[in-house]
């Protein structure tokens, strides 16, 4: 068995600098050269293999095996879920069902911009993040907000900040599934610990959103809306994150939040109906026929039916009571002796054919049986999905291949060993590292894949609760999404600011830094007062 070397150069900080070469090159290609992520991840792999073999003395055969097994894991754990999630979304779009659902949502959001923002950007945006992710909540929500009177640039900022809390559970839990795969930590434990932090993080954004669309006067009038919006999302998200895993917390949080808000605004509304900027509005009459149709139970059921099918199938398929995800057809493994723990560590591809992605496929098949799209529409669904996702599909394969190889060769342990010299201050730096990673890579999943193993090992070396640093890496990635160029490029695609990502990022930066500072305070809070919630 290959025995890793902790300090291959004989100088700790030189070894750390060399171990950072793949990360620096990746970030340079993404941020400075603006290279597409799939190509950058391939080229960095080509650079990293010789470093692992010639500097860390890893065997070439084992290194290539770890690379392959990581890529296969990225495909099966991430691509297989996100692909079918986007297939469901595009099916709804091309059959017209999503448009009807969107119109139903807009109708019930009332005329007040604050209620519209919380119900559509906050609750509806979380639903889209949980189902699709990858910037699509911005792309869908932004034109709705613009249509409701919010200026384009401000609409993008509102959609982006509303999207903060749901990101770790986005695309049916892909970031947490990836984090569990590269760290070896239990998926349900990570889901629960991240759920704890997200629950605290989610207390702030609704207040920010109401302020952004209506100013301080709007906040003083509508503060109950912020409280109900945040607590309703948390009440739907937190139990599912703890007891069912990472697949559905966004969907459950969004559904609970929307329906609680739906009921709440029937019994309480701000005294003054306000538009964007806090301007008082006069109510315009609504067509009686349209109101009757949109208010019917049948219309509500038809609008929500696809999402209810997805939730019921995925919960039944992947819940703790189900043995389907645990069925393994084959396991491919290559091992090394850890330079830190001196125990074997494994780079493993576990082909579990009945995992979360297959449950999403089953959900789509049931939705198909109900909606009955034409063959032409199905062809358009697959064509559109491949055009949208082929780059992301490659990124998942090659970034996980890189992450597995980084761990197998011992480079991750050497980097963690150097970072541990920073001491307990690294508790503050952990969310910052996640924030920087996603701001440059554009993906919470990719950031978890690259930095997750380093965060986990650094935590072990510092004797911190084992879930603490990986958790804050993931949630730090959430608050960096509003300034991620790749996310912004998708988010602006339906606005007047196409190819103006730089302007969008500058507009979002200030509030993103405020949320990062808030998250750092949360990390300190959990370290000093709730360490047991971050332990196994």
CA–CA separation, 18 and 421 (whole Å):
17
Task: State residue 2's pLDDT score.
Answer: 93
Cβ–Cβ under 8 Å, residues 179 and 246: no
| Whole-number Å distance between alpha carbons of 430 and 512 | 16
Q: Which pLDDT score, from 0 to 100, does residue 294 have?
A: 52
C-alpha closest to that of 248 among 191, 323, 300, 165: 191
Neighbours of 509 (CB within 10 A): 14
Q: Is the pLDDT reported for residue 156 higher than 50?
A: yes
Give percent of the chain above pLDDT 70.
Answer: 95
Vertex 331 angle, CA 325 and 335, to 5°: 125
Three-class DSSP category at 1: coil
Examine the pLDDT at 295 and tell me if it is beyond 60: no
The reply to whether the predicted model has a pTM over 0.85 is yes
Residues whose CB is less than 8 angstroms from the CB of residue 216 and which lie 6 or more positions away in sequence, other chains included: none
pLDDT higher than threshold 90 for residue 143: no
Residue 300 has pLDDT above 80, yes or no: no
Q: What is the DSSP string of 342-401?
A: -SEEEEEEEE-TTSHHHHHHHHHHHHHHHH---HHHHHHHHHHHHHHHHHHHHHHHHHHH
- pLDDT category, 327, cuts 50, 70, 90? very high
Q: Give the three-state DSSP class for 273.
A: coil
Binning pLDDT at 50, 70 and 90, where does residue 288 land? very low
pLDDT digits (tens, 9 = 90+) for 357-410: 899 999 999 999 999 999 999 999 999 888 888 888 888 899 889 989 999 999
* Per-residue pLDDT at 282: 74
- pLDDT for the residue 529: 96
Is the pLDDT higher at 182 or at 289? 182
Collapse the DSSP code of 52 into the 3-class scheme (helix H, G, I; strand E, B; otherwise coil) and give the result. helix
Closest of 52, 37, 76 to residue 405, by C-alpha: 52
The pLDDT assigned to 296 comes to 66
The whole-number pLDDT of residue 172 equals: 87
For the chain, what is the radius of gyration of the CA atoms? Answer: 23
First vs last C-alpha separation in the chain: 29
Instruction: Find where tokens 């494994």 sit.
Output: 346
Q: What is the pLDDT of residues 490-510, one digit of tens each?
A: 667 667 876 677 788 889 999
Lookup: tokens for 450: 């690259």
Return d(Cα 410, Cα 354) in angstroms, integer.
Answer: 32
The average pLDDT across 3-13 equals: 93
Other beta carbons less than 10 A from residue 35's beta carbon: 15
Q: Which two tokens stand for residue 309?
A: 């099918």
Q: How confident is the model at residue 523 (pLDDT cuts 50, 70, 90)?
A: very high
> Distance between CA atoms of 123 and 119, rounded to whole angstroms?
5
Strand-strand pairing, 330-337 and 344-351? antiparallel
Percent of the chain with pLDDT over 90: 63
Tokens coding 419: 């970072």
Question: Cα separation of 84 and 88, whole Å?
Answer: 6
Euclidean distance between CA atoms 308 and 259, whole angstroms: 13
The two three-digit tokens of residue 482, written as one number: 């509003």
Check the CA dihedral 144-150-153-158 and report its sign.
Answer: negative
**In the block, residue with structure tokens 């999402």:** 307
Give the model confidence (pLDDT) of 437-447 as tens digits.
Answer: 887 667 898 89
- Mean pLDDT for the chain? 89
pLDDT band at 289 (very low <50, low <70, confident <90, very high): very low
pLDDT in the model for residue 137 = 85
For the segment 10-14, the average pLDDT, to the nearest whole number, is 92
- CA-based angle 204:207:210, to the nearest 5? 150
**Residue 347, pLDDT above cutoff 60:** yes
Is the predicted pLDDT of residue 6 greater than 70, yes or no? yes
Q: Which H or E run includes 223?
A: helix 205-243
Predicted pLDDT of residue 292: 45
pLDDT at residue 291 greater than cutoff 60: no
Task: Classify burial at 529, counting beta carbons within 10 Å of its beta carbon; exposed 0-12, middle 13-18, buried 19 or more.
Answer: exposed
Alpha-carbon gap, residue 504 to 411, rounded angstroms: 36
CA 184 to chain centre: 19
Question: Where do we find the tokens 């929307």?
Answer: 258
Q: Tens digits of per-residue pLDDT, 57-116?
A: 999 999 999 999 999 998 998 889 888 988 998 899 899 988 888 888 777 778 899 999
What whole-number distance in Å separates Cα of residue 184 and Cα of residue 338? 14
pLDDT of residue 254: 94
123 vs 64: CA distance, rounded Å? 44
| The pLDDT of residue 287 | 47
Q: Are 84 and 360 in contact (CB under 8 A)?
A: yes
pLDDT digits (tens, 9 = 90+) for 15-69: 999 999 998 888 788 778 878 778 888 999 999 999 999 999 999 999 999 999 9
């Amino acid at each position: 068995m290959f025995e890793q070397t902790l300090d291959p150069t004989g100088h700790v900080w030189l070894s750390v600098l060399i171990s950072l070469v793949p990360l620096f090159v990746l970030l340079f290609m993404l941020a400075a050269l603006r290279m597409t992520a799939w190509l950058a991840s391939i080229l960095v792999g080509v650079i990293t293999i010789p470093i692992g073999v010639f500097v860390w003395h890893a065997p070439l055969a084992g290194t290539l095996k770890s690379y392959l097994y990581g890529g296969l894991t990225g495909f099966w754990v991430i691509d297989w879920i996100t692909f079918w999630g986007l297939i469901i979304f595009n099916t709804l779009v091309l059959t017209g069902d999503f448009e009807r659902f969107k119109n139903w949502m807009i109708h019930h959001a009332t005329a007040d911009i604050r209620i519209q923002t919380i119900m559509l950007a906050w609750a509806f945006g979380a639903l889209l993040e949980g189902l699709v992710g990858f910037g699509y909540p911005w792309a869908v929500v932004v034109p709705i907000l613009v249509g409701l009177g919010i200026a384009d640039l401000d609409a993008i900022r509102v959609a982006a900040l509303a999207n903060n809390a749901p990101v770790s559970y986005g695309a049916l839990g892909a970031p947490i599934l990836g984090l569990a795969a590269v760290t070896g930590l239990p998926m349900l434990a990570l889901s629960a610990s991240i759920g704890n932090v997200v629950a605290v993080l989610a207390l702030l954004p609704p207040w920010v959103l109401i302020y952004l669309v209506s100013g301080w006067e709007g906040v003083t009038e509508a503060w109950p809306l912020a409280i109900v919006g945040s607590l309703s999302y948390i009440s739907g998200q937190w139990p599912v994150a703890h007891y069912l895993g990472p697949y559905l917390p966004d969907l459950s949080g969004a559904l609970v939040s929307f329906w609680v808000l739906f009921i709440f605004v029937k019994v309480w509304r701000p005294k003054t109906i306000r538009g964007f900027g806090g301007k008082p509005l006069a109510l315009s009459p609504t067509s009686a026929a349209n109101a009757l149709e949109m208010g019917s139970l049948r219309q509500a059921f038809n609008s929500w039916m696809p999402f209810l099918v997805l939730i019921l199938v995925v919960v039944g398929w992947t819940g703790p009571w189900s043995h389907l995800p645990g069925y393994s057809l084959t396991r491919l493994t290559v091992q090394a002796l850890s330079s830190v723990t001196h125990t074997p560590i494994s780079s493993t591809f576990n082909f579990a054919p009945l995992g979360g992605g297959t449950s999403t496929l089953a959900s789509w098949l049931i939705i198909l049986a109900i909606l009955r799209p034409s063959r032409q529409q199905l062809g358009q669904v697959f064509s559109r999905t491949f055009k949208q996702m082929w780059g992301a599909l490659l990124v998942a394969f090659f970034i996980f291949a890189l992450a597995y190889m980084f761990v197998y060769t011992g480079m991750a342990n050497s980097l963690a060993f150097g970072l541990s010299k920073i001491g307990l201050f690294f508790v503050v730096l952990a969310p910052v590292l996640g924030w920087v990673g996603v701001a440059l890579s554009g993906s919470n999943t990719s950031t978890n894949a690259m930095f997750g193993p380093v965060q986990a090992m650094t935590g072990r070396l510092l004797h911190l609760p084992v879930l603490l640093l990986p958790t804050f890496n993931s949630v730090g990635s959430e608050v960096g999404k509003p300034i991620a160029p790749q996310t912004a490029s998708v988010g602006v695609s339906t606005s007047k600011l196409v190819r103006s990502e730089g302007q969008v990022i500058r507009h979002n930066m200030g509030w993103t830094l405020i949320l990062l500072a808030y998250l750092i305070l949360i990390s300190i809070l959990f370290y000093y007062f709730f360490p047991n919630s971050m332990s196994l």
